[in-house]
């Protein structure tokens, strides 16, 4: 046990974080390829210390107290000799074979990881996971811990490889049951990485590096990943430092160019951001997100013509893309092309319903058109009728008969016909005997204070029918005027 602490180069401690840091530091010195024997001793020392730590910290307190009480006595008493029939050599040979099998498996893992095209090849990992070492249930847990420790230090794998390994070893459940397996901080970081790479959202792609040779892959991937993390936390200076380091290694990665463009945009360096987005579009023209980001940046900087062309190009390939339609509608709105803006937002409304942005912009467009209607060319009466009531004569007649015709107009027509006939019957041969003239003269007499006894007998009846006739005519004219305004 003491030799294990000496190999790790630290004093005995119960702090797993200190143990892990010491192991990581020594691992840089004893690399498996340069010093395989030293790496093996380091690995065995770390496993010994970790198992001892788990026994001390994860067992009940009563068991630990009992062990401490008898520990001195057990050390003083010599171990009894083994019986002659004990198959020590056979047992030792079995353990050595199991360890050599696991070591051989880990060597395959390291070789697979070091060869980048194989590292991102799912078939290679499937072939590795079919190794006989994984079918040994007694050694499977130990192998899982070894692989877990290796990937903690070498974590740069595509998301589909992480999903495959998680489905095979169930590391999430294992680390939740034993959070001290890697140390608290390391466990939290490893679980976060597992969640990021096995969740619903796609992680960063490794394909752009597939045909690139002689670059420090892990250094590049680390800086790209940290640049994105710092960007999401809005720490722009740190993010730019990482992205510049990544760009100094490799520049033809569309996702890295997108990250750089977003950093430059948030920093107010719009020209550099536009260049980065354009390069990302060239490297990956089928990616709609990069083209949308470029169009949004052009719109933000007031370059409406370029932004319009970018949106139209997207819509030529994807006519119902909601983000492109929304941006194009806002571009037309800023350019005061109200008809195009209205048509674009109405198209967007048909696709995704009445969302808040669409309703607000359509309301603004209609309000502007209403307030500035005097600037429009006046429409003719025929155009107004066609725009407001584009019904045929048959439709107008049906609407008039069923909706606008009131029953009182029938009584008005009847009263008009009867009163007209009565007035005609009261007329004589002399023109002065016409009933209408008699009524008018009688009304005139009221204002002249003439004795009406002479006219009363001859004007009372004509006056009644004349009033009824006038009322019927007025009613018919009023109804006609109302219907003409509403229907015709």
Predicted local confidence at residue 365, as pLDDT: 86
433 within domain boundaries:
yes
**Looking at the predicted structure, is the pLDDT value of residue 12 above 60?**
yes
10 within domain boundaries:
yes
- pLDDT tens sequence across 287-342: 999 999 999 999 999 999 999 999 999 999 999 999 999 999 999 999 989 889 99
Identify whether residues 354 and 425 lie together within a single domain: no
Identify whether residues 129 and 275 lie together within a single domain: no
Identify whether residues 416 and 279 lie together within a single domain: no
Q: Is residue 78 very low, low, confident or very high in pLDDT (cuts 50, 70, 90)?
A: very low
81 within domain boundaries:
no
Domain boundary among 173, 197, 221: 197
Identify whether residues 244 and 369 lie together within a single domain: yes
User: For the domain that residue 321 is a member of, what is the CATH number?
Assistant: 1.25.40.10
Predicted local confidence at residue 83, as pLDDT: 47
DSSP labels, 120-176: T-HHHHHHHHTSGGGG-HHHHHHHHHHHHHHHHHS----HHHHHHHHHHH-HHHHHH
Average pLDDT, the chain: 77
Asked if 436 and 466 count as a contact pair (C-beta separation under 8 A), the reply is yes
467 within domain boundaries:
yes
242 within domain boundaries:
yes
What are the tokens at 66?
A: 């009992």
Q: What is the mean pLDDT of residues 415-441?
A: 65
Q: Is residue 66 very low, low, confident or very high in pLDDT (cuts 50, 70, 90)?
A: very low
179: three-class secondary structure by DSSP? coil
Structural domain harbouring 410: 394-486
483: three-class secondary structure by DSSP? helix
Helix axes 236-249, 254-266, angle to 10 degrees: 150
Identify whether residues 47 and 180 lie together within a single domain: yes
**Looking at the predicted structure, is the pLDDT value of residue 266 above 90?**
yes
Could you tell me which residues come within 8 angstroms of residue 140 by beta carbon, excluding any fewer than 6 positions away?
134
Q: What is the mean pLDDT of residues 459-480?
A: 76
What are the tokens at 235?
A: 């720490």
Q: Is residue 100 very low, low, confident or very high in pLDDT (cuts 50, 70, 90)?
A: confident
List Cα–Cα distances, 375 to 372, 388, 488, in angstroms: 6, 20, 27
Identify whether residues 311 and 165 lie together within a single domain: no
How far from chain centre, in Å, is Cα 94? 55
Identify whether residues 316 and 459 lie together within a single domain: no
**Looking at the predicted structure, is the pLDDT value of residue 283 above 60?**
yes
Predicted local confidence at residue 344, as pLDDT: 93
Identify whether residues 40 and 142 lie together within a single domain: yes
More confident residue, 30 or 442: 30
DSSP 87: -
Identify whether residues 230 and 309 lie together within a single domain: yes
More confident residue, 463 or 223: 223
Identify whether residues 332 and 433 lie together within a single domain: no
Helix axes 408-426, 435-448, angle to 10 degrees: 90
Identify whether residues 365 and 430 lie together within a single domain: no
**Looking at the predicted structure, is the pLDDT value of residue 278 above 90?**
yes
Lowest mean pLDDT among 17-31, 153-167, 223-237: 17-31
**Looking at the predicted structure, is the pLDDT value of residue 99 above 60?**
no
**Looking at the predicted structure, is the pLDDT value of residue 367 above 70?**
yes
323 within domain boundaries:
yes
Q: Could you tell me which of 317, 305, 245 has the C-alpha nearest to residue 281?
A: 317
Please tell me the total count of domains within the chain.
Answer: 3
Q: Is residue 8 very low, low, confident or very high in pLDDT (cuts 50, 70, 90)?
A: confident
381 within domain boundaries:
no
Q: How far apart are CA 477 and CA 372, in angstroms?
A: 37
Predicted local confidence at residue 456, as pLDDT: 54
- pLDDT tens sequence across 225-255: 999 999 999 999 999 999 999 999 999 999 9
More confident residue, 206 or 462: 206
Q: Could you tell me which of 289, 357, 354, 349 has the C-alpha nearest to residue 324?
A: 289
Q: Is residue 279 very low, low, confident or very high in pLDDT (cuts 50, 70, 90)?
A: very high
- Other C-beta atoms closer than 10 Å to the C-beta of 153 total 13
Q: How far apart are CA 437 and CA 440, in angstroms?
A: 5
Identify whether residues 311 and 369 lie together within a single domain: yes
**Looking at the predicted structure, is the pLDDT value of residue 215 above 50?**
yes
Q: How far apart are CA 286 and CA 313, in angstroms?
A: 12
More confident residue, 64 or 236: 236
422 within domain boundaries:
yes
DSSP labels, 302-368: T-HHHHHHHHHHHHHH-TT-HHHHHHHHHHHHHTT-HHHHHHHHHHHHHHH-S-HHHHHHHHHHHHH
Predicted local confidence at residue 300, as pLDDT: 93
């Amino acid at each position: 046990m003491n030799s294990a602490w000496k190999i790790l180069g630290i004093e005995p401690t119960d702090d797993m974080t200190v143990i892990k840091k010491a192991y990581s530091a020594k691992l840089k010195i004893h690399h498996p390829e340069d010093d395989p024997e030293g790496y093996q001793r380091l690995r065995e020392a770390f496993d010994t210390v970790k198992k001892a730590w788990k026994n001390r910290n994860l067992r009940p307190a009563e068991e630990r107290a009992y062990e401490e009480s008898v520990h001195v006595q057990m050390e003083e008493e010599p171990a009894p000799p083994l019986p002659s029939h004990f198959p020590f050599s056979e047992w030792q040979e079995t353990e050595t074979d199991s360890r050599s099998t696991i070591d051989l498996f880990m060597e395959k893992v390291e070789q697979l990881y070091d060869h980048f095209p194989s590292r991102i090849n799912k078939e290679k990992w499937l072939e590795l996971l079919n190794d006989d070492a994984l079918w040994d249930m007694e050694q499977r847990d130990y192998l899982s811990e070894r692989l877990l420790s290796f990937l903690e230090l070498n974590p740069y794998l595509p998301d589909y490889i992480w999903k495959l390994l998680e489905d095979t070893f169930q590391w999430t459940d294992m680390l939740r049951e034993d959070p001290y397996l890697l140390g608290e901080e390391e466990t939290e970081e490893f679980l976060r990485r597992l969640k990021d790479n096995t969740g619903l959202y796609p992680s960063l792609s490794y394909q752009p590096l597939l045909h690139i040779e002689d670059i420090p892959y892990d250094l590049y991937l680390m800086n790209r990943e940290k640049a994105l993390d710092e960007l999401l936390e809005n720490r722009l200076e740190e993010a730019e430092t990482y992205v510049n380091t990544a760009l100094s290694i490799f520049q033809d990665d569309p996702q890295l160019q997108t990250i750089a463009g977003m950093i430059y945009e948030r920093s107010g360096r719009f020209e550099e951001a536009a260049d980065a987005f354009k390069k990302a579009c060239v490297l990956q023209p089928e990616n709609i997100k990069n083209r949308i980001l470029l169009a949004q940046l052009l719109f933000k900087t007031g370059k409406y013509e370029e932004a319009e062309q970018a949106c139209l190009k997207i819509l030529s390939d994807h006519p119902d893309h909601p983000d492109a339609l929304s941006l194009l509608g806002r571009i037309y709105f800023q350019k005061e092309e109200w008809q195009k803006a209205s048509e674009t937002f109405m198209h967007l409304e048909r696709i995704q319903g009445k969302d808040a942005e669409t309703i607000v912009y359509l309301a603004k467009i209609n309000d502007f058109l209403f307030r500035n209607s005097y600037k429009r060319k006046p429409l003719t009466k025929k155009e107004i009728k066609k725009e407001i009531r584009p019904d045929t004569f048959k439709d107008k007649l049906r609407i008039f008969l069923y909706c606008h015709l009131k029953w009182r107009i029938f009584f008005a027509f009847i009263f008009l016909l009867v009163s007209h006939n009565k007035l005609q019957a009261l007329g004589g041969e002399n023109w002065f005997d016409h009933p209408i003239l008699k009524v008018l003269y009688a009304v005139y007499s009221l204002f002249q204070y003439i004795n009406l006894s002479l006219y009363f007998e001859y004007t009372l009846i004509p006056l009644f029918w004349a009033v009824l006739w006038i009322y019927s005519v007025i009613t018919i004219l009023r109804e006609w005027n109302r219907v003409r305004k509403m229907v015709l």
